[in-house]
Amino acid sequence: MSNKLHIISLDIPYPPDYGGMIDVFYKLKALSSLGLEITLHCFEYGSRTPNAVLNQYCKKVIYYPRKTGFQGLNASLPYIVSSRDDKTLLLNLMQDNSPILFEGLHTTFWLNHPSLKNRIKLLRAHNIESDYYYQLGNHASSYLKKLYFYLESNRLKWYENYLSGMQHLLSISEADTRYFSTCYPNIPTSYIPAFHANEEVNIIPGQGKYCLYHGNLSVAENIKSVRYLVKEVFNDLNIPLIIAGKNPPAALINHVPDHITIIANPSEQEMETLISEAHIHVLPSFQNTGMKLKLLHALFAGRFCIMNQSILDENISTAIIFAKDASAFKQHIRQTMPLPFTEEAIESRKKVLKPYMNVVNGQKIIDIIQQTVKQTV
């Protein structure tokens, strides 16, 4: 098998500062370290611009402008797909016969084009996108946004039928694996956990003095989680809570009690310090699809983690304290704050997280590609 691979990214994966791009960037690093020669194709839009860091891990990096506004609309296709219609991408993919890894449904406009009929094609599913957009609609504040997200959700559900042109699907959570295996039994599906910034488990034993929630605070789902913690969990819990993340809305900053601190836009080093020194990571979620990278980060670098069932991943359930409701959150926080995080707990965490090491999962992808090539010869 050739050691060459095309990867199509829905966005520029540097800096790796949000979920999907964290997965893409650290996947690039892992696959490159394992000897793959990568041609990276990525769509450019918004504030993200070409970055030379990507050339350290890729043989070639090619950028394409994403269509925005009305230019990206299509009468039938989801907007996240039709806005990434670029003929130059197709021509570049046709320059050789190397396998193609599509990062998200967003990048699959050319998936079933006749010119790519005989190519090995894999899809990395970052979410069940139809469910994800439906949840975005539920969280949206305006009627127009709700309408857009619900329409996009319906189109994405219909568009999933195009996955038949894929040789293999790489899901990001066990729940997503069950969904794709059930709905599309003819497409081989493998669970490949999210790639992330942590190369080893690095936890400080002992005790911290506060609880922590971290995430992008401009995202509706995360705002809902923060409001839940403020209003229903820490409303009568006299234990310090720090909420840290990007771009918190003013309404959130101005309406928290004295024992809750909001740290807006911390630097990478500040965030790492907050994560390592916290005693408990409180991570409620109301989104069942995908994999929460903040959870993986907390497990690799932080002490105790308390969360609700909606982000259950069976492989790591033994490392998590589950709270089914606000009352259970309070109970577990009170019980856990006095307990030190021991060396024995750190060793146990290392065993649990071994399947989530980037190099391990990079090798799984290479093995899948090699096996698929053999089956098609």
**pLDDT tens across the length of the chain (377 residues):** 579 999 999 999 999 988 889 999 999 999 999 999 999 999 999 889 999 999 999 999 999 999 988 887 887 899 999 999 999 999 999 999 999 999 999 999 999 999 999 999 999 999 999 999 999 999 888 999 999 999 999 999 999 988 888 999 999 988 899 999 999 999 999 999 999 999 899 999 999 999 999 998 988 888 999 999 999 999 999 999 999 999 999 888 888 888 999 999 999 899 999 999 999 999 998 876 655 788 899 999 999 999 986 555 677 888 999 999 999 999 999 999 999 999 999 999 999 999 999 999 999 999 999 999 988 86
Is the residue at 298 inside a domain?
yes
CB 98 within 8 A of CB 6: yes
Q: Is 216 exposed, middle or buried (0-12, 13-18, 19+ CB in 10 A)?
A: middle
Classify residue 13: in a domain, yes or no: yes
**Claim to verify: residue 165 and residue 257 sit in the same structural domain:** no
Scan for tokens 């990568």, then name that residue.
38
Q: Is residue 204 part of a domain?
A: no
Residues 191 and 293 in one domain: no
User: Burial letters for 86-125: b for 16+ Cβ neighbours within 10 Å, e otherwise?
Assistant: beebeebbeeeebbbbbbbbbbbbbbeeeebeebbbbbbb
Is the domain of 242 the same as that of 133? no
In this structure, the answer to whether residues 317 and 363 fall within a common structural domain is no
**With left for phi above 0 and alpha for psi between -120 and 50, is residue 104 left, alpha or beta?**
left
Predicted TM-score (pTM) of the model is 0.89
Domain contains 206: no
74 inside domain: yes
Question: Does residue 226 belong to any structural domain of this protein?
Answer: yes
- Same domain for 344 and 372: no
Owning domain of residue 269:
211-355
DSSP class of 59: S
DSSP assignment string, 31-51: HHHTT-EEEEEEEE-TT----
Same-domain status, 280 and 176:
no
Evaluate whether residue 203 is within a structural domain.
Answer: no
DSSP secondary structure code for residue 147 in this structure: H
Residues 123 and 33 in one domain: yes
228 plus 169 within the same structural domain? no
Number of domains in the chain: 2
Identify whether residues 133 and 282 lie together within a single domain.
no
User: 230 with 318, same domain?
Assistant: yes
Domain of 34, CATH number, reads 3.40.50.2000
Same domain, 190 and 48: yes
Same domain flag for 170 and 55: yes
90 inside domain: yes
